[in-house]
Amino acid sequence: MHTARQAQQKRSEQTRAEILGIALEQFSTYGFDAVSLRDIADRAGVNHAMVRYYFGSKESLWRESVAYLFDRFSEELAQPEPGSEGFSLDAVKDYIRGYIRYCARHPEHARLIMQEANRDSERLQWMAQEFIRPRHNRTIQLIKHVKANIPGLEEVNPVMLLYMITAVSQVPYLLTAEMKYVHGINAMQAKAVEAHCDAVVAFLFR
């Protein structure tokens, strides 16, 4: 049976998680400079002082939001492990499909990074060093295997290929509204997401 203290702690954790989720949505949509702690508190339905109690400054809340985002990324999308002969191409294809589905589930991930990448900031440098570079260092090994097994990609720089795959995977979820108004496509529908997975894999492994 839960004690009153345990129930209070659970509510506190839920409130904190809700604030983080709303902060991610706000930062990814409007950018760091255009968002205030009061905006986030109003959206979360909590007192402004509560946001400060949990996170302190806006900068601290942004950093915790980013850490939460990348922790979730690692939990939801584990990278395949190489076997004795390297990575299985089927495992690579499954990983790319998983990455696309992740981008569709959480469009705020790519949107937040794009908000920061539009300007050279200390926040971008911190995010790159703490989270993006370590993930890329692991993914590059997989990309090199892809490069070696797809005719015509031998001369492509693996870093450039990584960014090309990232871009083609993310774009429908960065330009969702444009696709809707120009082409009448709802990129977030499950059927559209799976069609996108098929198209990217077919394009890369043609």
User: Which residue is listed with tokens 């031998």?
Assistant: 154
- Long-range CB pairs of 88-96 (<8 Å, 24+ gap) are 89/146, 89/149, 89/205, 92/142, 92/145, 92/146, 93/201, 93/205, 95/142, 96/165, 96/169, 96/197, 96/200, 96/201, 96/204
Q: How far is CA 96 from CA 40, 77, 127, in A?
A: 33, 10, 23
Q: Per-residue pLDDT for 160 more than 70? A: yes
Compute the distance between CA of residue 189 and CA of residue 203 in angstroms, rounded to an integer.
Answer: 21
Domains observed in the chain: 1-63 (1.10.10.60), 77-206 (1.10.357)
pTM of the model: 0.88
46-90 confidence digits (pLDDT tens): 888 989 999 999 999 999 999 999 999 999 998 888 777 777 888
98-145 confidence digits (pLDDT tens): 999 999 999 999 999 999 988 888 999 999 999 999 999 989 988 888
Compute the distance between CA of residue 73 and CA of residue 61 in angstroms, rounded to an integer.
Answer: 18
Compute the distance between CA of residue 164 and CA of residue 174 in angstroms, rounded to an integer.
Answer: 15
